[in-house]
Amino acid sequence: MRTHVVDHPLVAHKLTVLRDERTDSPTFRLLTDELVTLLAYEATREVRVVPSEITTPVSPMTGTALASPKPLVVPILRAGLGMLDGMMRLLPTAEVGFLGMLRNEETLQASTYAERLPDDLSGRQCYVLDPMLATGGTLAAAIRFLTDRGADHITCVCLLAAPEGCANLERELEGLDVPVTVVTAALDERLNDKGYIVPGLGDAGDRLYGVAG
Ligand code: URA
C-alpha cells in the first residue's frame, strides 16, 4: 500500500479552515468539495488512458482519452457522499457505485448494509471516497468488497488519515494482489480513545450533514 500526502499550500489552507470548530456546515461542505477536487488531481495520476486520434484546426494528432471500462467512483455512506461532487468534477464520465458500511461496536468488524455496484468489477479502477481514515476497518472491508468483485486497482481519497489506521489497513491488506494507494490531505498525530483522529476535524458526517444519527 502506498500513502500519498498531498503537499500543497492551498490544500493546507483549506484543510485548516475545515478543521476549525467555528466553520459552519455550508462552509464545511464547500471546502470539502474544493479540497477533494485538489486531491482528485493527485489521485487520478495513474488513471488508465489510451491514445486518441483527433484533428485540431491545424493538423491531425494523437491525443489521450480515458480507457474503457471507465473508472468507478465509490463513496462510502454517509460522509463519503460529501466528497462525490468534488471527485466527479475531474472525472465526469466515471460511473458511481454506492457502499454503506457499518462498524459493529462490539466486534469492531465493518459490514456492508447497502450496496449499489456492478456485480462484475473485472479490470475496473476504483476510487473509494471516505473522509476519515481512522482505524482503517471500514476502508479495509470496502477494498476487500471491491477486489472480491474483480477490481484490480484501488485508490482511496481521504481528507485525513491517522498513522494507526494506515498501519492497520496495510496489515489487513497483506497478501492482496491489487495495488492500493491512499491519497490524503494530511497524516495526523494519532487516534484518541474514542477512535477520533487528533487533531482531526471531529465527526465528518455530522459536520457535513448535522447530527442526524
Ligand atoms: N470518523 C470521523 O468522522 N472522525 C474521526 O475523527 C474519526 C472517524
CATH number of the domain enclosing 24: 3.40.50.2020
Q: What angle do CA 151, 144, 95 make, to 5 degrees?
A: 40
In whole numbers, what is the pLDDT of the chain averaged over residues? 96
- pLDDT of residue 213 exceeding 60, the answer is no
Tell me how far the alpha carbon of residue 196 lies from the centroid of ligand 1, in angstroms: 5
Orientation of helix 9-19 relative to helix 25-43, angle to 10°:
150
Backbone angles phi, psi at 99, to 5 degrees: -135, 125
Whether residue 101 has its Cβ less than 6 Å from ligand 1: no
Q: Quick one: pLDDT at residue 6?
A: 98
Q: Is the pLDDT of residue 108 over 70?
A: no
> Would the pTM of this model clear 0.85, i.e. be above it?
yes
- Has residue 184 been placed in a domain? yes
Question: Could you tell me if the CB of 159 is within 6 A of ligand 1?
Answer: no
In angstroms, what is the span from residue 182 Cα to ligand 1's centroid? 16
Kindly tell me if the per-residue pLDDT of 75 is higher than 60. yes
Instruction: Tell me, yes or no, whether 6 lies in a domain.
Output: yes
User: How many structural domains does the chain have?
Assistant: 1
- Among residues 103, 144, 149, 152, the one annotated as catalytic is 103
The predicted-structure confidence for 19-67, as pLDDT tens digits, reads as follows 999 999 999 999 999 999 999 999 999 999 999 999 999 999 999 999 9
